[in-house]
Amino acid sequence: MNVKELRVGFAFCGSFCTMSQALDALEQTAARFGPVTPIVSGSVASTDTRFGAAHDFMREMERICGRRVISTVAGAEPIGPKGLLDVLVICPCTGNTLAKLAHGVTDSSVTMAAKAHLRNGRPLVAAVSTNDGLGASAPNLGVLLNRKNVFFVPFGQDDCTGKPASLVADFTLVPETIEAACRGEQLQPLLRR
């Protein structure tokens, strides 16, 4: 597969404190691979936080991608039957989304996009951002680390003294992880400082 001609989907979940880093990763991804399909969870589409307004985030995604954001389950469902993507990135991927992916729950635009995409045997790349990655979300992370066609952006503890269970991916490695995933490889080392 020629990585210069990839059809990339880029899904955002509600780790609002990492949203600006995720937008930077989206920009890097679009610069490397061309047009990207943006997808957002319901919380990203509708929640204004101290980190920014939902409308502003979505407007910036559309500016970077040059296309409308998919924000509904119905909008995400055709991704599988129509084979619309070569690779799907979930960045940031929250503990909530990890749990849903690990247990087959399809109740949001992002989880529907993932389910629809994975049915075609194509790579899913997750950039974890969760305060309980080494706590309650650890079993779900373990399940997905062992799941075929699921790859992770290398991650590590972001604040081992203040939040000892928290994990965050190195979002600067999203494009490199996409390339590795398209070769069927997990970018290594997976655990970063």
Whether 4 shows a pLDDT value over 80: the answer reads no
List, for residues 151-170, the tens digit of each pLDDT value.
999 999 998 999 999 999 99
Query: Which pLDDT band, with edges at 50, 70 and 90, does 174 fall under?
Result: very high
- Reading the block at residue 3, the tokens are 């990585």
Q: Half-sphere exposure of residue 150, counting CA atoms within 13 Å on the CB side?
A: 20
**pLDDT > 70 fraction of the chain, expressed in percent and rounded:** 97
Strands 36-40 and 8-12: parallel
Whether 1 shows a pLDDT value over 60: the answer reads no
Whether 72 shows a pLDDT value over 70: the answer reads yes
Structure-token match 């979505």, residue found: 58
Q: Any alpha helices (H) in 66-188, and if so which ranges?
A: 73-76, 95-103, 109-118, 138-145, 174-182
pTM of the entire structure? Answer: 0.94
